[in-house]
Structures are given as C-alpha cells and as structure tokens.
Amino acid sequence: MSAARDYKAIVAGITAAADELRERDRERAVELSRDLVGLDDAMVRAGERAAMTRLGVNLHWEAALEMLWAESWMTLRPMPAPDERVDPANIDALDAAVEQRFAELRDATRRGFGLRGFGLGRR
C-alpha cells in the first residue's frame, strides 16, 4: 500500500466515525427535545398545583381569621411564610392536613371556647 492509500483509508475511517457521531447526536437531540417537552409540561402542572395549594391555604387562613375575630383575648398574627424545607412530593398529604386542621378549628369555634386542643384555650 502506498502512503496515499493509507492516508485515504484513515481519512475515510475518520469521516465515517464523524458521520456516525453526528447521526447519534441528531438522534439524541430528538430524544432530549421530547424530554424537554415532557419536563415543560410537568413544570406547568407543578406550578398550577402550587398555585392551587397557595390559594387553598390562603382561603383557609382568611376563614380561620374570620372565625377567631371575636376571640378578643387571642392575638391574631399574619400568616407564616411557607416552609421551604417541605418535600413537594407530600403536597396531597399536606393539603389534607390543612383541610383537617381547618375543620377541627371550625368545629371548635362552633362549640365555643373549645380551643384548648389547639393550645389556644383561655388562660
């Protein structure tokens, strides 16, 4: 074999490898593009879910303040900031806990002065 043939064989091998890499890159780009669409949809759903949770908590808070407004002995405070350490995977359980505690508060205020279970009884 001559040097020219060796050179052409090496260049042909490099060209084939580069073409193969480009094709794999194109396929991977298509996969990543599909993944990106799915992730974008998931982010939109998560944002909507978070907004619904915030709305629910705000509505419960305002309703709780209205129920407790007549309790002049009680110091009403602003709503605390969200706890950033909470695992968002538990959002359903946390929403249920907010709903449960609100129901307990509502029942306690309907009974009148039954707030001791909340650490809020008269002192």
Tens digits of residue pLDDT in 73-99: 888 889 999 888 989 889 999 999 999
Q: Which structural domain, as residue segments, surrounds residue 45? A: 3-118
3-class DSSP assignment, residue 101: helix
Q: Report the pLDDT value the prediction gives residue 123, as an integer from 0 to 100.
A: 41
Instruction: Tell whether 19 is covered by a domain.
Output: yes
Per-residue pLDDT tens digits for 10-55: 999 999 999 999 999 999 999 999 999 999 999 999 999 999 999 9
Instruction: Tell whether 104 is covered by a domain.
Output: yes
Q: How many domains does the chain have?
A: 1
In this structure, what token pair is assigned to residue 117? 């279970």
For 43, phi then psi, to 5°, come to -65, -40
Instruction: Tell whether 123 is covered by a domain.
Output: no
With beta carbons less than 8 A apart as the criterion, state whether 109 and 115 touch.
Answer: yes
